Amino acid sequence: MRLSVIGCGYLGAVHAAAMASIGHEVVGIDVDARKIASLSAGEAPFFEPELQELLTEGIASGRLRFTTDMAEARGAVVHFVGVGTPQQKDGYAADLTYVNAAVDGLIPYLAAGDIVAGKSTVPVGTAADLAERVTPTGATLVWNPEFLREGFAVKDTIDPDRLVAGVPAGPEGERAADLLREVYHPSVTKGTPFIVTDYATAELVKVAANAFLATKISFINAMAEIAEVTGADVTTLADAIGHDVRIGRRFLGAGIGFGGGCLPKDIRAFAARAEELGRGESVAFLREMDAINMRRRDRAVDLVVQALGGSVFKKNVTVLGAAFKPHSDDIRDSPALDVAVRLHGLGAWVTITDPQAIDNARARHPQLNYVADRDEALRGADGVIVVTEWDEYRRQLTPEHAASLVTGRVIVDGRNCLDAAAWRAAGWQYYGMGRP
């Protein structure tokens, strides 16, 4: 099938490349000329495992191309809209400027029978508004939320847990759902659940899933706060409650909390939208989840201060990690980088390293000292804090090797990802989050 993908960020670029890899003919469109130049040259503009290979193959096959010209969407049967919905500058609600501009820009090139498939994360009610603009062209709007995780974006796009299509009632909606089934035929054939519903439910599935995940993380971080005043160990607690299949162990990782381009902004936008709908109290708990999450960053900074004898002023602190999570170079709302910046604000000499995110981090916070090589970054440290659980720190760094590089054997494990007993045995003062 011929597809267009409007917006070539994390979502759109991966979607375009993944759709080409399953045999579709795809044009990716974005207003950012630099991004398009990079993608057209087969270069991924950000780090995402497997994306580079898919781009190279897609372009070589002739099935994948990129342009800044919206007119090239003409002739595609399904047009995916995957532009960003950032947090508004002066509030918590989602900024729909890019979604509106993408749909309005696409409308002149739509033909009767086309499908416009919204993938961006939007406040519930947006699809119904957009449908009013799309329907007069004879095209049909469907809402097809995206659940990909950064770091696993290619895998999640090609082999998702479920597919959701919000469609209008009647035969036109059924036809649109059938066309989407055709787009995703390898997954559908494999038996991936394909849920057809209305617009509002489809929009809500996405924000509800992210709200649930954020709540799960903040729940275990709240337990970490209780563990800290009782001497309990939150990691053992998480293991034990996680054995209950109704709870499950995943997303019960206590530490410095969640960040990234999705969870923080999505729960804030959801709370803001619920208030607009007169149902603020229904999700008032999300404000609490946000507050718990932000407190963990304070706690990590406090632990470093405490571990270094009450002050970090003029102490050498090495921060291991800058990305909001491993396998990503994304630093949007990164708790890792926030902790580093706060330590710098307290007068520490902060050296920060990360396998992928240094360039992005340096552009945002040039005041920190960036060192690409992990061991070089550790050399002479009075204290170390792990804030992104890359394998380079979690598995490949032994306490003995680290000890040979640092000045002071003090380590704060902001992700509870190290073997506390092994680090203590090697003479380190080890501090976990929510652990004795």
- Contacting residues toward ligand UDX, per CB under 6 A: 147-150, 210, 213, 217, 251-253, 255, 257-260, 262-263, 324-325
Dihedral sign for Cα atoms in the order 285, 290, 295, 296: positive
Instruction: Annotate 305-349 with DSSP letters as a single string.
Output: HHHTTS--TT-EEEEE--SSSTT----TT-HHHHHHHHHHHTT-E
Where do we find the tokens 């394909």? 194
Dihedral sign for Cα atoms in the order 173, 176, 181, 182: positive
Instruction: Answer whether 434's CB lies under 8 Å from 234's CB.
Output: yes
Residue showing the smallest CB distance to ligand UDX in the complex: 253
Question: Judged by CB, which is closer to ligand UDX: 325, or 409?
Answer: 325
Q: What is the closest distance, in whole angstroms, from the C-beta atom of residue 263 to ligand UDX in the complex?
A: 5
Question: Judged by CB, which is closer to ligand UDX: 123, or 255?
Answer: 255
| Residues 148, 153, 155: CA angle, nearest 5 degrees | 100
Q: Which helix (H) or strand (E) holds 40?
A: helix 33-40
Q: What is the closest distance, in whole angstroms, from the C-beta atom of residue 417 to ligand UDX in the complex?
A: 10
Q: What is the closest distance, in whole angstroms, from the C-beta atom of residue 225 to ligand UDX in the complex?
A: 14
- How many Å apart are CA 219 and CA 123, to the nearest integer? 24
Sheet bearing 429-431, strands edge to edge: 369-370, 349-353, 316-320, 383-386, 410-413, 429-431
CB atoms within 10 A of CB 315: 22
Question: Judged by CB, which is closer to ligand UDX: 65, or 332?
Answer: 332
Question: Judged by CB, which is closer to ligand UDX: 149, or 175?
Answer: 149
Q: What is the closest distance, in whole angstroms, from the C-beta atom of residue 103 to ligand UDX in the complex?
A: 21
Which residues are known catalytic residues? 262
CB atoms within 10 A of CB 311: 12
Question: Judged by CB, which is closer to ligand UDX: 166, or 255?
Answer: 255
Q: What is the closest distance, in whole angstroms, from the C-beta atom of residue 11 to ligand UDX in the complex?
A: 8
Adjacent-strand bridge partners of 352: 319, 370
Instruction: Answer whether 45's CB lies under 8 Å from 13's CB.
Output: yes
Instruction: Answer whether 117's CB lies under 8 Å from 144's CB.
Output: yes
Q: What is the closest distance, in whole angstroms, from the C-beta atom of residue 414 to ligand UDX in the complex?
A: 10
Question: Judged by CB, which is closer to ligand UDX: 147, or 199?
Answer: 147
Q: What is the closest distance, in whole angstroms, from the C-beta atom of residue 119 to ligand UDX in the complex?
A: 10
Question: Judged by CB, which is closer to ligand UDX: 36, or 319?
Answer: 319
End-to-end alpha carbon distance in the chain: 57
- How many Å apart are CA 239 and CA 339, to the nearest integer? 26
